[in-house]
Amino acid sequence: MNQNTENFEQLRRLLKLKRYEQPPPGYFDRFSSQVIARIRLGERGEESAVIERLLWEAPWLQRIWAAFEAKPVLAGVFGLAVCGLLITGVIYSENGDVQPVALIPVTESLPSSTEVANVNAESHPLLVKPAALETSSTNPITALETDGLLLGGLRAQPTSFVLPGRN
Amino acid sequence: MIMTEPARRKAPNPSDESPAGPEPAPAPVEEAELVKRARKGDLAAYDDLVRRYQERIYATIYHMTANHEDANDLAQEAFIKAFQALRSFKGGSSFYTWVYRIAVNKTINFLKQRKNKAQMSLDDLDFNAEHDPDLVALISDKTPRREVNLAELQEKLNAAMQKLSEPHRLVVTLHDVQGLSHEEIAKIMDCNIGTVRSRLFYARQQLQAYLSDYLQ
Domain boundaries, chain A: 12-57
* Distance between B216 CA and the closest CA of chain A, angstroms: 7
Q: Among B8-12, B19-23, B182-186, whose mean pLDDT is lowest?
A: B8-12
Cβ–Cβ below 8 Å for B124 and A24: yes
Q: CB–CB of B181/B127 below 8 Å?
A: no
Cβ–Cβ contact B137 with A under 8 A: yes
What is the model's pTM? Answer: 0.61
List pLDDT tens digits, range A98-127. Answer: 555 555 555 555 555 555 555 555 555 555
Select the residue of B7, B47, B172 nearest A32 (Cβ to Cβ). B47
List pLDDT tens digits, range B39-78. Answer: 999 999 999 999 999 999 999 999 999 999 999 999 999 9
C-alpha B162/C-alpha B64 separation (Å) is 8
Q: CB–CB of B214/B148 below 8 Å?
A: yes
Closest CA to B24 of B72, B100, B94: B94
Q: What residue ranges define each of the domains in chain B, with the CATH number in brackets?
A: 28-113 (1.10.1740.10), 127-214 (1.10.10.10)
Kindly indicate whether the ipTM for this predicted assembly is greater than 0.85, answering yes or no. Answer: no
What count of other Cβ atoms lies within 10 Å of the Cβ of residue A100?
Answer: 5
Position B167 pLDDT exceeds 50: yes
